[in-house]
Amino acid sequence: MVDEVILLDYWASPFGMRARIALREKGVEFEYREENLRDKSPLLLQMNPVHKKIPVLIHNGKPVCESMNVVQYIDEVWSGKNSFLPSDPYHRAQARFWINFIDTKVYEPADKIWSTTGEVQETAKKDFIEALKILEAELGDKPYFSGDNFGFVDIAMTGYYSWFKPFEKCANFSIASECPTLMASAKRCLQRESVVHSIPDPDELFALAFKLRKEYGV
């Protein structure tokens, strides 16, 4: 039986990028379906009735929701190539810890960097850099968070890496000057073939951020 794999996604979403990267790392063929987040498709509402959000992976008619849950599912189903999570239970637990850190301590200020101005934006920049420095300390001198291999935490961060240049333009600051080691790893991740084919051009992301800022009156 040939697997039917459909990904409901939105081109600029750092969370959707995670699913795209994971599928391509595994060499899984899939049908990409772009969602209009302001007019969500009946299929998206049917497949994710609780949160009504992308990404949703539909595998042989069965939906899997939430980005890192999708990534883990892909890792387990297509287990023959490029394992994302370490085999050791402690290291797996540590990886999940850092995913939670990323999706709270990185996401919250990152969202405010492009959507606010003034003191709120300045505070967001400070909190964002502080979170990145904590991640940089965890990375240490390793090429990737999991060591020599591109893994679970790297996939989670790569969606954010794609937005770093737009963040810098929106808020007039430099991430590389604050976190050079993390940025070296980010560059390594962004050069992977699976990533190159999964993320948009930073200029397109900045154009979107600029458009949304105007719409929100920022």
How does pLDDT run across 135-145, given as a tens digit for each residue?
Answer: 999 999 999 99
Runs of H (alpha helix) within the chain: 14-26, 42-47, 67-77, 89-101, 107-115, 118-139, 152-161, 164-171, 175-178, 180-190, 193-196, 202-215
Helix axes 118-139, 164-171, angle to 10 degrees: 140
Q: What is the pLDDT of residues 110-119, one digit of tens each?
A: 999 999 999 9
pLDDT tens per residue, range 55-114: 999 999 999 999 999 999 999 999 988 899 999 999 999 999 999 999 999 999 999 999
- Report whether pLDDT(183) > 80: yes
pLDDT of residue 111: 93
